Amino acid sequence: MAKAAEKDGCAMKAGKGCLGFFLGPAMLVMAVYLLFNNEGDYLNTAQALDELQPLVQHVENTATPDAALEGKPVHLSGTATTEDVLTDDTYGVQAQGIMLRRNVQYVQWVEKKTKRTGSDTKPSFMTEAEYKRSRDDEWIYSYNLTWVNNPINSATFHNERYRSANYTHYKADTIELWAKNVQLGNYKLTDNQIRRIAADGKRVPPQQVPEALHKHAMLHGEYLFIGRAPEGSSYYPLDPQAPSVGDVRISWRQTSPQRPVSLVAVQKGNRFEPYTATNGAVIDLFYTDTLGITQCFDKARSTNTVNLWMVRMGGWLMFWGAFACMLRPLAGMVPVCRKLAEAGAEVISLLLGTICSLLTISVSWLFCRPVFAVLMLLAIIALIWLLMKKQRKPAKAVTRS
């Protein structure tokens, strides 16, 4: 691992400040849009699930599609199966299953940037405060050789020694091959449903080295390990235990040909299509598990609630980040107590982000849940009136005997 350091100059600080003033307002607009639409999406999905559940009929026998259920919402649960054999022709790897994934990794130098606020020694001519200020904007760069999923462009690395360090001996794509024919009894799953079947990650070890790679590749457990002799050399010592920059390893995983699934959808012949609710929301429930009707809808409602709060959290973070982008440059211009000013900017950004998030959600409720919003407003007004009335009530006179 190697390290290097740099300091932010005045031009860089000014550039970051200008970027913050442009980026901040854009993030504000995105946060408002995200939070405002999120409440409506959640409510539409919840209403659609409530509408659909009483209409669903369970299909016990999947051997023959029931014509009486044509065009109606149905629930099926069983084992999805396929006889398709998936083949990665480039490497001669094949497996019977629902999905076959080729995963490619490369040995590359990775740059990591961290901010250093001080070092072990302080020059004798500096006071402690001067020394801390001098180290505030110093960045430390570290470099590690590791396996990554994509080649890394080292031309932009800070340390010149590593700017041309990354290369690859061999290039391949990570791909997924999917079965075309997956059945649930005599029902045929759609492509969308097939791709939603969760992988069980069974390994498929390669059986041979392709002819085009036999000089600089070898089988190593579950991997095909690939290296290449340096320029001017005809020999490359392949050592998977001590890989070098540019080395490549390829592995394969499959989804088994039999997987438990449960679904709720509209029957169309021996296939399925999503249910469209009266409010326009589209429902297509599919799970890699054996679930009943109630369990499917419970899981869908749980997912809807989780998505609601995740987007709320994301919108709140965007508001916080937007105000931080605009306030941090201002705090950095304070010549005295800069650390205190930066901390104050963070606190103010947090408060403004929280207030704007709550305000955006509240306004969205006026459109999505007007009755509930009005009731809440009346309750708040009533509470304020009671508190004011209690404060205005004169104290009882104390009588003496």
State the total domains in the chain.
2
Q: How far, in Å, are 56, 62, 78 from residue 72 at the CA level?
A: 8, 15, 19
The last residue of one of the domains, among 223, 257, 290, is: 290
Q: Helix 338-368 to helix 370-392 angle, to the nearest 10 degrees?
A: 120
Q: Which domain holds residue 323?
A: 8-48+303-392
Q: Helix 338-368 to helix 293-332 angle, to the nearest 10 degrees?
A: 140
Q: What is the tens place of the pLDDT at every residue in 341-394?
A: 677 778 888 888 888 888 888 888 888 878 777 776 677 677 778 777 776 666
Under 8 Å between Cβ of 294 and 305: no
User: How many CB atoms are closer than 10 A to CB 112?
Assistant: 11
Look at residue 382 in the predicted model and tell me its pLDDT.
78
Look at residue 240 in the predicted model and tell me its pLDDT.
84
Question: Is residue 164 domain-shared with residue 74, that is, in the same domain?
Answer: yes
- Inside any domain, residue 136: no
**Helices and strands (H, E) in the chain, number of each type:** 6, 19
Pick the more confident residue, 201 or 318. 318
**CB-side neighbour CA atoms (13 Å) of 334:** 14
- Inside any domain, residue 267: yes
Question: Is residue 181 domain-shared with residue 221, that is, in the same domain?
Answer: yes
Structure-token match 């932010």, residue found: 8
- Residue 246's nearest CA partner among 234, 255, 238 is 238
Q: What is the tens place of the pLDDT at every residue in 12-25?
A: 454 554 565 678 88
User: How many CB atoms are closer than 10 A to CB 212?
Assistant: 9
Q: How confident is the model at residue 137 (pLDDT cuts 50, 70, 90)?
A: low
Question: Is residue 231 domain-shared with residue 352, that is, in the same domain?
Answer: no
Q: What is the tens place of the pLDDT at every residue in 157-198?
A: 888 888 888 988 889 999 999 999 999 999 999 999 999 999
CA 304/CA 49 separation, integer angstroms? 10
- The per-residue pLDDT of the chain, averaged, comes to 84
- Inside any domain, residue 122: no
Pick the more confident residue, 142 or 336. 142
- Inside any domain, residue 125: no
Q: What is the DSSP string of 235-255?
A: -----TTS--TT-EEEEEEEE
Q: Helix 10-52 to helix 293-332 angle, to the nearest 10 degrees?
A: 160
- Annotate 260-278 with three-state secondary structure: EEEEEEEEECCEEECEECC
Look at residue 179 in the predicted model and tell me its pLDDT.
97
The last residue of one of the domains, among 225, 260, 290, is: 290
Under 8 Å between Cβ of 97 and 80: no
Look at residue 116 in the predicted model and tell me its pLDDT.
66
Question: Is residue 98 domain-shared with residue 236, that is, in the same domain?
Answer: yes
Torsion, Cα of 184, 188, 193, 198 (10° steps):
40
- Residue 76's nearest CA partner among 180, 182, 187 is 187
Q: How confident is the model at residue 401 (pLDDT cuts 50, 70, 90)?
A: very low
CA 333/CA 339 separation, integer angstroms? 11
pTM, 2 dp: 0.75
User: How many CB atoms are closer than 10 A to CB 308?
Assistant: 17
Question: Is residue 362 domain-shared with residue 338, that is, in the same domain?
Answer: yes
Question: Is residue 179 domain-shared with residue 209, that is, in the same domain?
Answer: yes
Question: Is residue 38 domain-shared with residue 70, that is, in the same domain?
Answer: no
Look at residue 11 in the predicted model and tell me its pLDDT.
46
Question: Is residue 253 domain-shared with residue 373, that is, in the same domain?
Answer: no
Give the containing element (helix H, strand E) for 280.
none
Question: Tokens for 274?
Answer: 């999503």
Q: What is the mean pLDDT of residues 105-116?
A: 87
Question: Is residue 189 domain-shared with residue 334, that is, in the same domain?
Answer: no
- Inside any domain, residue 115: no
Q: Is 148 helix (H, G, I), strand (E, B) or coil?
A: strand
Question: Is residue 27 domain-shared with residue 66, that is, in the same domain?
Answer: no
- Inside any domain, residue 3: no
Pick the more confident residue, 109 or 22. 109
Structure-token match 């969308």, residue found: 192
Under 8 Å between Cβ of 245 and 108: yes
Q: What is the tens place of the pLDDT at every residue in 232-257?
A: 555 556 778 888 899 999 999 999 99
The last residue of one of the domains, among 290, 312, 345, is: 290
- Inside any domain, residue 203: yes
**Is beta strand 57-58 parallel, antiparallel or unpaired with respect to 73-81?**
parallel
- Residue 369's nearest CA partner among 46, 109, 80 is 46
Q: How confident is the model at residue 128 (pLDDT cuts 50, 70, 90)?
A: low
- Inside any domain, residue 313: yes
Look at residue 29 in the predicted model and tell me its pLDDT.
92
* Percentage of the residues of the chain whose pLDDT score is greater than 70: 79
Look at residue 285 in the predicted model and tell me its pLDDT.
97
Structure-token match 């592995």, residue found: 251
Does residue 134 have a pLDDT over 50? no
Question: Is residue 212 domain-shared with residue 239, that is, in the same domain?
Answer: yes
Question: Tokens for 280?
Answer: 């326009």
CA 43/CA 277 separation, integer angstroms? 12
Does residue 224 have a pLDDT over 90? yes
Q: What is the tens place of the pLDDT at every residue in 69-99?
A: 999 999 999 999 999 999 999 999 999 999 9
Question: Is residue 71 domain-shared with residue 151, that is, in the same domain?
Answer: yes
Rg (CA), the chain: 31
- Residue 246's nearest CA partner among 266, 225, 227, 220 is 227
